[in-house]
Amino acid sequence: MLRVYFHGHSCFEIVGEKGTVLVDPFLKENPLADVLPEDFTQLDAILVSHGHGDHLGDAIEISKRTGAPIIGTYELTWHCQRLGAKVHAMHIGGKHEFSFGTVKLTQAWHGSGFETPEEPDQMRYAGSPCGILLQMDGKWLYHAGDTGLFGDMQLIGRRHPLALAMLPIGDNYVMGPEDAVYAARLLRPKMLIPMHYNTFGLIEQDVDEFVSALRRKTPETKGYPLKPGEHLDI
Ligand code: NI
Ligand code: MN
């Protein structure tokens, strides 16, 4: 059994039989997060979709303290390593087997600037943003990162039958609820957790409306709107 905790915004903690990973740990600066970086003492990896502050978040601090590697694209992990984190660099389309499971990075239509604390007025190049496919305990999970809708989501779902998809619904910077419902039709996951909404005013959404649209239009996918701190067993 896999236990998937939602910690607000796009942050998830996934606990499997062979290990625990954290995805996009935006905690200290997120008033809605239910945990703090120091709550994590033992992790097998920190997966980061792109360089924006609401995803990279506290990853470097958590990596330094726990020794867990940050897994992400080559360009993003290059910055993290320079700032003292342990890293494992990958890139889109590549997969790697870790002790906790398998990670494969996918494309995401978004940006990935990196704001370094030493140069607060500069945004550094951090490569392409990505989505994350994760296989743990024989189940495929897909964390879309920040992205707009794209047709190859169908290919992602076909190649990796998905137990769970974590999709942004906040609009403005990422897919809105209608495109996320369409994304579910392409991906065909058994379960879906909406993310990247209601953290601040610009991305406020009616999540109950999203879940009922999903029920009407994609009945094979069940929506689970988790509150920070809640979990789903898959
Ligand atoms: Ni972003
Ligand atoms: Mn974001």
pLDDT of residue 43: 98
* Residue 53, token pair as written in the block: 């502050």
Separation of CA 183 and ligand 1 centre (Å) = 18
pTM equals 0.98
What is the whole-number distance in angstroms between the Cα of residue 64 and the centre of ligand 1? 23
Could you say which ligand is closest to the alpha carbon of residue 195? 2
Instruction: Indicate if the alpha-carbon torsion angle 188, 52, 78, 82 is positive or negative.
Output: negative
DSSP, res 133: E
Distances (CA, A) of 24 to 141, 146, 176: 15, 10, 19
| Ligand 2 centroid to residue 188 C-alpha, Å | 23
**Residue 118 pLDDT > 80:** no
CA of 175 from ligand 2 middle (Å) equals: 11
d(CA 55, ligand 1 centre) in Å: 7
pLDDT digits (tens, 9 = 90+) for 26-78: 999 999 999 999 999 999 999 999 999 999 999 999 999 999 999 999 999 99
Q: Both tokens of residue 72? A: 């992400």
Instruction: Give the C-alpha separation, 60 to 63, whole Å.
Output: 5
Q: Measured in angstroms, how far is the CA atom of residue 136 from the centroid of ligand 2?
A: 25
Residues 189-223 pLDDT 10s: 999 999 999 999 999 999 999 999 999 999 999 99
Alpha-carbon gap, residue 128 to 64, rounded angstroms? 24
Exposure letters 85-107 (e unless 16+ CB within 10 A, then b):
bbbbbbeeeeeeebebbebbbbb
CA of 126 to the centre of ligand 1 (A): 12
Distances (CA, A) of 120 to 60, 116, 123: 16, 6, 8
Task: Kindly identify the ligand whose nearest atom is closest to the C-alpha of 108.
Answer: 1
Please name which ligand lies nearest the alpha carbon of 170: 2
Mean of the per-residue pLDDT values for the chain?
A: 97
**Cα of 53 to ligand 2 centre, how many Å?**
8
Ligand 2 centroid distance, CA of 96 (Å): 25
Q: Is the pLDDT of residue 115 over 90?
A: no
Domains and CATH numbers, the chain: 3-226 (3.60.15.10)
Give the whole-number percent of the chain exceeding pLDDT 90.
96
Q: What is the pLDDT of residues 67-114, one digit of tens each?
A: 999 999 999 999 999 999 999 999 999 999 999 999 999 999 999 999
Between CA 48 and CA 59 the distance in angstroms is: 8
Please say if the pLDDT value at position 233 is more than 90.
Answer: yes
Model confidence pLDDT, tens digit, residues 8-31: 999 999 999 999 999 999 999 999
Fill in the amino acid letter for 170.
G
